[in-house]
Amino acid sequence: MRARFSSLLANADHQTSAREAASLSASVPLMTMEARRLAASVSLGLHGRGRAGPGESFWQYRALIEGEPQTRIDWRKSARHGNALFVREHEWEAARSFHIFIDQSSSMNYSSDKHPRKIDHAVIMGLALADLLVRSGERVALFNETPPSASRQIIDRLAEVLSRPKKSEHALPEITALSNNAHVIIIGDMIAESKDIEATLSAINQSGAHCTLLRILDPAEINFPFSGETELMSAETALTFDIGDAASFAPQARARLDAHERDLKNIVMRHQSHLATHRTDETMTPCLLALMTRFSRRDESLTGVGHG
């Protein structure tokens, strides 16, 4: 069961919050503004890292051909070889297509204390990633919702789609045909059955594409800080489970989350994917910076686990 945590005294408040969070449409404009600010901040951090853009990856040196302009000469290389003049040839790198999927299932509406909802951070980070990827020469799509685009208005285009009523409660994308240079970014809490996550990554691999999982968690889901008589409430069904004293149940809750995280890491390694984790009580910039630095390397064979 995908559960969210709430004490008996706070049940009414959480149920009201869930009803108010049923639609993203009212909050998307504010998220759009925050995504632009965030993307601009991360872009400054990426500046000067020497990322090769489309068509700028070094391929080989070759001798200067008669008639070629002198501006193509690599003078440093030529100086080491007497009278020979050399030119740097570059490999053409076609723009990749990044397909962003944002989990809009009910569990993403959860938040504890004064922290933002998980869906808020998911949308903001998804839009910011879209903007940063377009700036770096890639094309971006909202998974199965929009075609890949290199438009500088990509944030507005994706935000317009996200503001519409959601079509499903699926926490994972339904994989269709993808191009070989495609990269799927799945943003959600990843609180799904391990076998379902594995099946999704397997389908992505079979399509010749690559995948990054951006897991977003509330600190209460990680730390389980509750005390006293507590019941767990399903975010997506009417089920509740009285666990009694929360402090006594906490070790079991943390152990289950740890086991799920181990499963995720193993799945990611088996399918040559990448897992990044972000908490809603932390700033989003470090996680986005780490992801964009990784994407800029264009070495999709690298697997790994990161934290933001």
Q: Are residues 181 and 86 in the same domain?
A: no
Q: Are residues 241 and 259 in the same domain?
A: yes
Q: Are residues 65 and 26 in the same domain?
A: no
Contact predicate 137/94, CB 8 Å: no
Q: Are residues 204 and 148 in the same domain?
A: yes
User: Which of these three, 37, 72, 91, is where a domain ends?
Assistant: 91
User: What DSSP element (H or E) covers 5?
Assistant: strand 3-7
7/106 Cα distance (integer angstroms):
18
DSSP characters over 87-118: EEEEE--PPPEEEEEE--SGGGG---TTPPPH
Q: Are residues 151 and 283 in the same domain?
A: yes
Residues 6+ apart with CB under 8 A from 223: 254
* Domain count of the fold of the chain: 2
Predicted confidence pLDDT, tens digits, the chain (308 residues): 334 444 333 343 444 444 544 567 788 889 999 999 999 999 987 764 444 344 455 657 778 776 667 777 888 888 888 788 888 766 545 678 999 999 998 889 989 888 999 999 999 999 999 999 999 889 999 999 999 999 999 999 999 999 888 767 789 999 888 887 799 999 999 988 999 999 999 999 999 899 999 999 999 888 887 777 776 666 665 566 677 777 888 888 888 888 999 999 999 999 999 999 999 999 999 999 999 999 987 655 455 666 55
Phi, psi of 45 (to 5 degrees): -70, -30
- What is the per-residue pLDDT for 264? 95
CATH of the domain at 237: 3.40.50
- What is the per-residue pLDDT for 274? 96
Q: Are residues 237 and 291 in the same domain?
A: yes
Q: Are residues 67 and 209 in the same domain?
A: no
pLDDT digits (tens, 9 = 90+) for 136-160: 889 999 999 999 999 999 999 999 9
Q: Are residues 68 and 46 in the same domain?
A: no
Beta-bridge partners for 274: 212, 304
Q: Are residues 128 and 240 in the same domain?
A: yes
CA dihedral 141, 147, 151, 154 (to 10 degrees): -40
Token duo for residue 73: 């000469």
7/150 Cα distance (integer angstroms):
46
- What is the per-residue pLDDT for 248? 81
Q: Are residues 63 and 139 in the same domain?
A: no
- What is the per-residue pLDDT for 6? 41
pTM score: 0.77
Beta-bridge partners for 139: 97
Q: Which residues of 146-184 are buried (b: 16+ CB within 10 A; e: fewer)?
A: bebbeeeebbebbbeebbeeeeeeebbbebeebeebbbb
Token duo for residue 226: 């509750």
Contact predicate 60/306, CB 8 Å: no
Structural domain harbouring 73: 57-91
Q: Are residues 82 and 105 in the same domain?
A: no
Task: Tell me which amino acid residue 59 is.
Answer: W
Q: Is 187 helix (H, G, I), strand (E, B) or coil?
A: strand
Q: Are residues 63 and 137 in the same domain?
A: no
